[in-house]
Amino acid sequence: MIASFTQFMLFIQLISIAMLTIWIMALGWCEQTLLAILISAVLTSVPRTYIIINNFFTACVFDARRTDGKKYHRWQLLLLMLQEFFWSSVCWYWTFPFASLALRINSQHQGLPVLLIHGYGCNSGYWSKLSRLLQKQNITHSAINCEPVLAGIDDYAVLIENAITTLCQHTGQSQVIILGHSMGGLSARAYMRRYGEEKIARVITLGTPHHGSKLASAAWGLNAQQMRWTEHEQASNWLKTLSAAESPSTRARIVSIYSRHDNIVFPQQSSHLPHARNIEIELVGHVALAFAKQSVRIVMQEITAARENKLISETR
C-alpha cells in the first residue's frame, strides 16, 4: 500500500513540476528550461522541508547538548537536518515506491538469519542499504510490510511469525535476529508477548519509542495511538501493558540503539529501555538511522555479535 501511495504522490509531484515549469517560462521569469525545472522542483519540496524542520524544533532537538554539557555547533545541527532531509527524500522518492524487499537467501549462508521490520508509514524498502550490507556478508534475511498500515501493532505479530518460520525453514536455524526501526521495535516486542521468545536470539531496536512519543499524537491510526506519549507525560496504556508483560530476561534479549537528536521520537530518552542494552548516539535523525555511517556500523556490529554468540553457544 505504501509503495502504491508513494508512486501516486511521486506522479503528482512530477505533474506539478511540469506545470510550474511551463508557468514560470510562460511568465518570462526564466528562459532556461533546466533552471526552470530546478526551481519548480525546489518549490514542490517546500512542504517536505517545512515538515522536517518543524519536527526538529517540535522535538526540541536543538536543545540537546553534548555529554560534556556544551552546545553543538550550528554547522553540526545544519548537517543533521540536511542528512535527515536527504535520506527521507531517498526513501520517499525511491526506496518506498520502487525498492521493496522480500526474502534474500544466500547460498553461502551460515548462522542466524535476520528479519527486518520497518516503522510507521514506511515499508520494506526502508532497509535497502542494510540489505546490501547483509548480502555482502552472506547473511540470509527478510523484511515484512506491516499492513494494514493503520492497524494495531499487535496485528503485525502474525506477519512476523510467518516470516520467522520461512527464514528458519530456509536456513535450518531455530532462531532469528530481529532488527526493528521505530514502530518495528514495538512490533517485535508485541510478537514476543504473543508467541514467546523461543525463536528470538536477539531484538535490535533502532529509534524505537519504547515509552511513546509526543509527536505520535499528530499521526493517524490505531498504531499511532498506541505509540503516544500522553498529555499527562506518560506512556499509553498499550505501552504500559506491553512493558508489564515483559520480564528482565526478556529485556536482556533487546538492544536499543537511539539518537539524542531523533526528530520523531520525543522525548528522545523514550528509547531507553530498562534492563535492555541501550546505545545512545548523536547527530543522526530518525529516518537516517538506517543509512548514516555511525548508526549502520553499530547495527552491523550488533548483528555480528548476536550471530557469534549463537554459534559459540551451539559449539559448547
Three-state secondary structure string covering the chain: CHHHHHHHHHHHHHHHHHHHHHHHHHCCCCCCHHHHHHHHHHHHCHHHHHHHHHHHHHCCHHHCECCCCCECCHHHHHHHHHHHHHHHHHHHHHHHHHCCCCCECCCCCCCCCEEEECCCCCCHHHHHHHHHHHHHCCCCEEEECCCCCCCCHHHHHHHHHHHHHHHHHHHCCCCEEEEEECHHHHHHHHHHHHHCCCCEEEEEEECCCCCCEHHHHHCCCHHHHHCEECCCCCECHHHHHHHHCCCHHHHCCEEEEEECCCCCCCCHHHHCCCCCEEEEECCCCCHHHHCCHHHHHHHHHHHHHHHHHHHHHHHC
Q: Are residues 168 and 304 in the same domain?
A: yes
Q: Are residues 87 and 191 in the same domain?
A: no
| Residue 287 C-alpha from the chain's centroid | 6
Q: Within a domain: residue 103?
A: no
pLDDT digits (tens, 9 = 90+) for 81-135: 999 999 999 999 999 999 888 899 987 878 899 999 999 999 999 999 999 999 9
Q: Which domain holds residue 7?
A: 2-98
In this structure, are residues 155 and 148 in contact, taking their beta carbons and an 8 Å threshold? yes
For residue 312, the model assigns a pLDDT of: 45
For residue 231, the model assigns a pLDDT of: 65
Q: Are residues 281 and 147 in the same domain?
A: yes
- Distance between CA atoms of residues 132 and 309, nearest Å: 23
Q: Within a domain: residue 84?
A: yes
Say what percent of the chain tops pLDDT 90: 86
For residue 108, the model assigns a pLDDT of: 80
Q: Are residues 82 and 119 in the same domain?
A: no
Reply yes or no on whether the pLDDT at 138 is more than 90: yes
Q: Within a domain: residue 141?
A: yes
Q: Within a domain: residue 44?
A: yes
Q: Within a domain: residue 36?
A: yes
Query: What mean pLDDT is predicted for residues 247-262?
Result: 96
Query: What mean pLDDT is predicted for residues 170-197?
Result: 97
pTM attached to this predicted model: 0.94
Average model confidence (pLDDT) across the chain: 93
Interacting residues of 144 by C-beta distance below 8 A, sequence separation 6+? 115, 116, 117, 118, 124, 156, 159, 160, 163
For residue 92, the model assigns a pLDDT of: 94
Question: Pick from 98, 124, 151: which residue ends a domain?
Answer: 98
Q: How many angstroms separate the Cα of 69 from the Cα of each of 82, 188, 214, 285?
A: 24, 34, 25, 20
Query: What mean pLDDT is predicted for residues 158-162?
Result: 98
Query: What mean pLDDT is predicted for residues 251-261?
Result: 97
Interacting residues of 109 by C-beta distance below 8 A, sequence separation 6+? 138, 139, 140, 171
Reply yes or no on whether the pLDDT at 193 is more than 90: yes
Query: What mean pLDDT is predicted for residues 147-152?
Result: 96
pLDDT digits (tens, 9 = 90+) for 226-249: 999 976 668 899 999 999 999 999
The domain total for the chain is 2
pLDDT digits (tens, 9 = 90+) for 305-314: 999 885 444 4
pLDDT digits (tens, 9 = 90+) for 57-89: 999 999 988 888 889 999 999 999 999 999 999
Q: Are residues 61 and 166 in the same domain?
A: no
